[in-house]
Amino acid sequence: MKKHVLIALALVALPAASRAERKVQGNEQFLTYDCSEDDTLTILGSQNFVTVTGACKQITVVGAENHLTASSALAVSVPGRQNWLKVEATDSIRASGTQNWIEYVRSVTPKKRTEVSSTGRENVIRKAGGQ
């Protein structure tokens, strides 16, 4: 009986485990990802054009010269170099890489100000529309 209960619990836990990290590897790709399927996205490659839909927990851009457009991410981290990001909504931006351009419109959480940190060199982080 205990064996059947454990198997049933494992099967119930599978859908939660499937929402994991998606990694973009490779170069010069045109890709679309839905964060309702994988809530964490990491871009490792270079010169990719990535469109992200849905609400992500975390987007990390490690690669170089990527173009990313996202609708929502609680946190954005950019340790890569020369990337271009446009994020509609985010609560946190951390740019530790070099020469990245990041634009956001608003925070995800209502009445919260987006936290911005740039410890890398020559990063540009700006709020679109002066809102």
Q: Model confidence over 48-104: pLDDT tens digits?
A: 999 999 999 999 999 999 999 999 999 999 999 999 999 999 999 999 999 999 999
Segments of the chain assigned E as strands? 21-24, 30-34, 40-43, 49-61, 67-78, 84-95, 101-106, 115-118, 124-127
pLDDT score for 19? 55
pLDDT score for 11? 39
Mean pLDDT score across all residues of the chain: 87
At 16, the pLDDT band (50, 70, 90 cuts) reads very low
pLDDT score for 125? 98
pLDDT at 10 exceeding the cut of 60: no
pLDDT score for 22? 86
pLDDT score for 18? 46
Please report, for the chain, the start and end positions of each structural domain, with discontinuous segments joined by +. Answer: 20-130
